């Protein structure tokens, strides 16, 4: 499976990695495989991270003649292939973070990538289409309720909690999605912990904070 980096210059963690190096290594691996008796060395063009594009290239390859893929559930395969960044993005798109710009800041991905992930989530039924349009949540005041576990205060959404405690909205988003522990602090220096209201195990909530 060859992604975009095998066909054109792409972003790498190491700046000295060049396209010709990648392609030279690809050729070396293929030659070594054939020298060792591998008759069916199959390369699938997956330079576009899109289910239909990859599916068509698999169907049109020799692989479809060697393996019966007629009963493959492609949508299920796509679901199981979702990696952590995509899942985190889809979850955030269903919360009180209202724009892709905010989500980009959390997951540290380009806006186009985030939008593609959200559209993919919509196609798979994992993201609420009614709440999403052109990269923005339609109802910015309808975010999921969250709880400050230190004070048992309930907030209508991440934005209001961020304003109330002057805490990072990005970090609160990470907290409720279990990728960070704290965001903001009390006057005594105690670091604030956050959780979605419907997931919180505490039941002695003090109040609902309305700004």
Q: What is the mean pLDDT of residues 27-53?
A: 91
Confidence (pLDDT) at 95: 74
Percent of the chain whose predicted confidence (pLDDT) is above 70: 82
pLDDT tens readout for residues 74-127 = 888 887 777 778 888 888 888 755 577 778 878 878 777 887 888 888 878 887
* DSSP classification of residue 179: S
Strand-pairing partners, residue 148, are 153, 194
CA 161 to chain centre: 23
* DSSP classification of residue 194: E
Q: What is the mean pLDDT of residues 49-69?
A: 90
Confidence (pLDDT) at 14: 44
Confidence of residue 192 (pLDDT cuts 50, 70, 90): very high
Q: Please, how many CA atoms are within 13 Å of residue 83, restricted to the half-sphere of its CB?
A: 4
Buried residues in 49-58 as b, exposed as e (16+ CB within 10 A): eebeebbebb
**When comparing pLDDT for 19 and 32, which is higher?**
32
Q: How confident is the prediction for the chain on average, in pLDDT?
A: 80
**Res 15 pLDDT > 70:** no
Rounded-to-integer distance, Cα 194 and Cα 154, Å? 10
To the question of pTM greater than 0.85 for the whole model, the response is: no
Confidence of residue 208 (pLDDT cuts 50, 70, 90): low
């Amino acid at each position: 499976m060859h992604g975009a980096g095998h066909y054109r210059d792409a972003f790498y963690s190491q700046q000295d990695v060049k396209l010709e190096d990648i392609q030279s290594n690809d050729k070396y691996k293929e030659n070594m495989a054939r020298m060792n008796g591998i008759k069916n060395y199959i390369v699938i063009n997956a330079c576009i991270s899109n289910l239909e594009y990859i599916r068509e290239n698999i169907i049109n390859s020799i692989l479809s003649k060697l393996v019966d893929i007629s009963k493959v559930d492609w949508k299920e395969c796509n679901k199981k292939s979702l990696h952590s960044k995509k899942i985190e993005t889809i979850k955030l798109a269903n919360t009180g973070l209202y724009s892709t710009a905010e989500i980009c800041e959390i997951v540290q991905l380009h806006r186009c990538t985030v939008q593609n992930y959200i559209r993919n989530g919509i196609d798979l039924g994992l993201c609420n289409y009614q709440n999403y349009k052109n990269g923005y949540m339609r109802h910015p005041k309808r975010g999921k309720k969250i709880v400050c576990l230190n004070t048992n205060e309930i907030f209508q959404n991440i934005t209001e909690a961020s304003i109330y405690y002057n805490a990072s909205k990005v970090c609160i988003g990470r907290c409720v999605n279990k990728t960070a522990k704290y965001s903001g602090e009390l006057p005594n220096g105690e670091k604030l912990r956050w959780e979605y209201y419907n997931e919180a195990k505490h039941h002695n909530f003090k109040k609902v904070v309305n700004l």
